[in-house]
């Protein structure tokens, strides 16, 4: 008896059709959903996760659907941040992430080569001539910035750099590498950890961060402290909230970086040793401390004595960092203030 041959559905490329294309974009993370209709009416849909700030394509998962209706029903459960898109835009984003990996000679997600046919030929996609876009203006980054970012691909700490023009608009303490924001780290980890094709990863992984601006939810509490006369406590909280959001997501930053950043702000002086590899980390934290001071000053408005409360708060926080010093745990103080960051 002849062995029955297995029939594999033939793939049909729906060239020119925007059906089945969706995209999520926020804080340097893009998630693209693309689909392909097979000859028998079934569908294959793939999810491509892309870190546009540094790592390129970081995830790929696929799912088979019996028909277009079942695919559409599945996509109805998506979070509102995952929006319908076009084939052109989605392919550009995937091709952009692929080029980053190829230029860094970095490994692609295990499933990528199996399912890239859904969006191929990616080699035909027209991309800007530069490997990385500036996160602020989407323009070209200097070559030395590109080399620095590529050298850090798949590293423990995520950072990004701005073009020279956008960098000039930053405060003096922020003219350095900008390290991953809390929201970026959460999005990165959510996509990197995916084990299946899903549209609910956003609300499942980050239920408390959805649509909540970072640090904005602390303003009312700080404002209330000021109205009740707890002004030094308000200044301390405003600064520590910002320290937490700059340090908790970034494991490379240690307590001694925080202490150095506090001293920089207290002395109102930049670090002169540009060759020190830790200078960027210290200046980065100092920039967040300054943002905390600005928040407090804005809430104080015309109340007298604001600067003296800031100075007292800075001194109090510096002493707290010293008091939490531990040889066995170089992030003891950072862990002490981690509750300011929703995880």
User: Can you count the helices (H) and strands (E) in the chain?
Assistant: 13, 8
Query: 25, exposed or middle or buried, with CB in 10 Å at 0-12, 13-18, 19+?
Result: middle
Q: Looking at residue 280, what is its pLDDT?
A: 79
Say which range, 80-89, 156-165, 191-200, 254-263, has the weakest mean pLDDT: 156-165
Say which range, 80-84, 141-145, 273-277, 278-282, has the weakest mean pLDDT: 273-277
Asked whether 242 and 313 are in contact (CB, 8 A), the reply is: no
- Mean per-residue pLDDT, 242-264: 90
Q: Looking at residue 172, what is its pLDDT?
A: 53
Which structure tokens are listed for 160?
């990004």
Q: How far apart are CA 173 and CA 152, in angstroms?
A: 22
Q: Looking at residue 227, what is its pLDDT?
A: 81
Q: Give the residue from 130, 127, 139, 157 showing the smallest Cα distance to 55.
A: 157
Asked whether 254 and 325 are in contact (CB, 8 A), the reply is: no
Q: Where are the domains of the chain?
A: 14-124, 212-340
Q: How far apart are CA 279 and CA 275, in angstroms?
A: 8
Answer whether 0.75 is exceeded by the pTM.
no
Q: Looking at residue 259, what is its pLDDT?
A: 95
Q: Looking at residue 218, what is its pLDDT?
A: 76
pLDDT, tens digit, 9 for 90 and up, residues 20-67: 899 999 888 999 999 999 999 999 999 999 999 999 999 999 999 999
Asked whether 60 and 49 are in contact (CB, 8 A), the reply is: yes
Asked whether 252 and 234 are in contact (CB, 8 A), the reply is: no
Query: Which residues, in sequence order, are CB contacts of 163 under 8 Å at separation 6+?
Result: 134, 136, 137, 139, 140, 141, 142, 145
pLDDT-based confidence at residue 157 (cuts at 50, 70, 90): low
């Amino acid at each position: 008896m002849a062995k029955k041959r297995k029939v594999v559905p033939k793939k049909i490329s729906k060239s020119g059709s925007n059906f089945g294309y969706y995209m999520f974009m926020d804080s340097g993370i893009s998630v693209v959903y693309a689909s392909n209709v097979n000859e028998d009416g079934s569908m294959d849909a793939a999810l491509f996760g892309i870190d546009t700030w540094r790592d390129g394509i970081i995830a790929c998962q696929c799912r088979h659907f019996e028909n277009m209706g079942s695919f559409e029903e599945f996509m109805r459960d998506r979070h509102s941040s995952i929006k319908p898109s076009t084939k052109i835009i989605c392919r550009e984003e995937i091709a952009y992430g692929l080029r980053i990996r190829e230029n860094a000679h970095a490994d692609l997600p295990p499933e990528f080569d199996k399912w890239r046919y859904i969006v191929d030929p990616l080699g035909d996609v027209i991309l800007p001539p530069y490997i990385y876009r500036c996160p602020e203006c989407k323009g070209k980054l200097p070559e030395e910035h590109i080399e620095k970012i590529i050298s850090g691909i798949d590293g423990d700490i995520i950072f990004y750099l701005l073009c020279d023009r956008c960098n000039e608009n930053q405060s003096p303490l922020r003219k350095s590498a900008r390290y991953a924001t809390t929201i970026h780290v959460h999005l990165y980890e959510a996509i990197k950890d995916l084990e299946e094709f899903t549209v609910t990863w956003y609300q499942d992984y980050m239920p408390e961060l959805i649509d909540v601006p970072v640090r904005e939810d602390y303003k009312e509490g700080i404002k209330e402290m000021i109205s009740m006369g707890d002004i030094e406590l308000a200044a301390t909280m405003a600064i520590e909230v910002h320290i937490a959001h700059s340090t908790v997501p970034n494991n490379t930053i240690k307590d001694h970086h925080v202490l150095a950043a506090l001293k920089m702000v207290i002395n109102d002086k930049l670090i002169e040793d540009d060759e020190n590899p830790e200078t960027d980390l210290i200046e980065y934290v100092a920039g967040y401390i300054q943002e905390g001071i600005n928040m407090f000053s804005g809430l104080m408005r015309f109340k007298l004595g604001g600067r003296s409360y800031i100075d007292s708060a800075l001194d109090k926080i510096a002493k707290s960092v010293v008091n939490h010093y531990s040889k066995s745990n170089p992030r003891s103080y950072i862990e002490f203030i981690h509750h300011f960051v929703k995880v």
